[in-house]
Amino acid sequence: MDRLLNFLFHYRAFFTFLFLELFCAWLVVQNNQYQSTQFFNTSNRLAANIISFSQGVREYLSLQDINTSLAEENARLRTALEQKNQSLQAIGAQPLDSAVINRFSYISAKVINNSTLLFKNYITVNKGRLDGIAPGMAAISSSGAIGKVKSVSDHYAVLISLLNTDEQLSSAIKRTGHFGTVQWEGTNPRLVDLHYIPRHVDPRVGDTIVTSGYNAVFPENILVGKIASVNLSEEAPFYSIKVELSQDFAKLAFVQIIRSNLKSEKDSLEFNTIGEIK
């Protein structure tokens, strides 16, 4: 306290001068319309800038919550859209089959670990068994196919990325309807190979590649990418096709896990009819 009093006493002339300057400025503003208007306009602009900056900081700090909320809303909308599509397809059947209408449901999850530089890449998300996720479920993003669930714990799941040389995805050329298999060859994380397209087909650069729906894991017509190059050797029975992935895996932030509610029924029927499906 003594130091503060000594400081104020030592600089008493400066503080007196500062007080008088501020008092004079106040008198000028109070007694002159032009100065008063300029002062309040300036103060309002300054206050508005401070409020705008403060709001921007708050919005930036809440981006994670906003993104999570949007991802969950996107999953709910996908589920509703899938149910609507199935309902429209079943209009000719009486009564409507609720199991078919609810064939797929979606669970939003945030990516918390992701590799793209290995031959066998995996993705870890922050949802697990307690959220209804199980091994074998498909994973997509807002941009396209991602992979499928490999293993789960109560609160986390590990996905096999499409950028994994062991992962294969049944896909089709949307324009022609011909189907093949998408598989990563292990080098460029933006390109995958489309195998088994026979030479009588006419694939073209720019053609859209989508999931074929030939398994119960992925819905059909999920975007995979677009054809980047097409080559055909003279004696080759199949084209050599490169597909540019629609999803840049280096920027992956959220995924949606797809629960196929009819998969067990399909697998059971196929097993009883033709044996275990490998």
Place domain 168-251 in its CATH homologous superfamily: Rod shape-determining protein MreC, domain 2 (2.40.10.350)
Residue ranges covered by each domain of the chain: 168-251
CA 51/CA 53 separation, integer angstroms: 5
Task: Give the total residue count for the chain.
Answer: 278
- The answer to whether the CB of 123 falls within 8 A of the CB of 112 is no
Alpha-carbon dihedral 15, 16, 22, 27, rounded to 10 degrees:
170
Picking from 162, 142, 129, the residue whose alpha carbon sits closest to that of residue 71 is 142
Picking from 228, 226, 224, 217, the residue whose alpha carbon sits closest to that of residue 259 is 217
Per-residue pLDDT 10s for the chain (278 aa) are 677 777 767 777 877 878 877 777 777 766 766 666 665 556 656 655 665 566 566 556 556 665 665 666 666 666 666 555 555 555 554 445 555 556 788 898 989 999 998 999 999 999 999 999 999 999 999 889 999 999 999 999 999 999 999 999 999 999 999 999 999 999 999 999 999 999 999 999 999 999 998 876 888 889 999 999 999 998 899 999 999 999 999 988 889 999 887 777 777 787 788 765 44
Q: What is the predicted pLDDT for the residue at 98?
A: 54
This model's pTM is above 0.75:
no
